[in-house]
Structure 1
């Protein structure tokens, strides 16, 4: 039986390769907006991050988003991404604790 190949992506913060499903996609939409892509299917150029605010902060410090997305990423957008990832992790932790 043929084994399915797991798509791998590299986090732009810590540079670790992980299965695509374990990472969060950040997308530069065609109109230049930087967004979290929770579906993994949004149009635009993408970069991947571990679900860890520290990885997002590292990526911001080394200008990895701008390099990967091929656009200038404002400090506001970086801070918003870090906040959104932190909120998402907090929400997931609460769901896990209920179960």
Structure 2
């Protein structure tokens, strides 16, 4: 059987190329609203971040997503993203990759 190609994405914080399933997409709509996109299909400008709490914390400290998405993000959004990533990481470890 033919091997399927695994789509890779680049993390905007660490610069690592990882499979799309190991990343979370953050999207900015045309209206300027920024949201977490678990499905990866929302319209707008997207940026991928690794599902690693340390990477999200680094993005928060350096305000990386603000520059990449050209938007001003609140600490509340970064906290929501950190909570989401921590939850997803725990699910991956519990269920196995």
Shorter-chain TM range is 0.7 to 0.9
TM-score (norm 1): 0.78
Q: Relative to structure 1, is the Cα distance of residues 21 and 75 closer, same or farther in structure 2, using a 3 angstrom cutoff?
A: same
Match runs of 1:30-41 below 5 Å: 30-41=30-41
Is 1:89 matched up with 2:89?
yes
Structure 2 residues without counterparts, runs of 5 or longer: none
Return the offset for 1:78: 0.6
- The total of aligned residue pairs comes to 94
Other-structure match for 2:69:
69
Take 1:95 and 1:65, find their aligned partners in 2: how far apart are those partners? 29
Return the offset for 1:6: 5.4
For the residue of structure 2 that corresponds to 1:25, the secondary structure is strand
Moved more, 57-66 or 13-22: 13-22
Return the offset for 1:82: 0.4
Structure 1 residues without counterparts, runs of 5 or longer: none
Return the offset for 1:93: 2.1
TM-score (norm 2): 0.79
